[in-house]
Amino acid sequence: MEKALLLVDLIKGFGQEGYDKNMYCKNVEGIKKNLQQLIEYANKNNIPIIYCCDAHESNDPELKRNGGPWEEHCMKGTESSDIVDWLPSKDMVKLMGADANKDIINKEGHNNTFRIDKRTYSGFYNTILDDLLKHNNIKEVYIAGLVTSVCVQHTAADAFFRGYKINLVENGCADISNEKHENAMEYMKNNYSAKIMKMDKKWLK
């Protein structure tokens, strides 16, 4: 069974201080090392890494200007939407709509790290992610990122609705409070049959 690692909103607006006001998730500080090890594990085991990143446009419905709940954040083309400095992204390939049937499974000399832009919570909604995974016969996903009770949970929900086996890396996710994080993990376990796991050194052996 082919697998993929989905990294949700590990971008500067949420994961690095000094970008979008009130959006920085300070609890990310406790999971940085785990995420770095998770990426090391994925690369070692030829598991494709797909960053699912907010890249908002001015007419997106979740923005307050359009009646949504959030102030402007992680706007397309801004540094706020860039991958955090503490995770590798140098050789990342940005995938567009035309790449829905792209072969992403790592082969010798083949890039293993990709980015898909999203305009709302889920990495699947109005993106090519589902078509891309199905084209590559991926049936199981690891999910980590920010924040647990919003974009991680919505991405997990859409993965479940589409028939993927879900693994949630508990110590690779963070929320604005431990309570929100724990409640979201329990919800996804109970409602999406998600397997809750923790990144640790044994993964790297």
pLDDT in tens, 117-148: 999 999 999 999 999 999 999 999 999 999 99
The answer to whether residue 75 scores a pLDDT higher than 70 is: yes
Q: What is the pTM of this model?
A: 0.96
* Structural domains counted in the chain: 1
Q: What is the CATH number of the domain that holds 100?
A: 3.40.50.850
**87 pLDDT higher than 70:** yes
Structural domain of 118:
2-204
Q: CA 189, 47, 120, 12 torsion: positive or negative?
A: positive
How many CB atoms sit inside 10 A of residue 32's CB?
A: 16
How many alpha carbons lie under 13 Å from residue 181 in its C-beta half-sphere?
A: 22
Cα distance between residue 74 and residue 57, in whole Å = 9
pLDDT over 80 at 14, yes or no: yes
- Band the pLDDT of 110: cuts 50, 70, 90: low
| Mean confidence (pLDDT) of the chain | 93
Higher-pLDDT residue of 84 and 88 is: 84
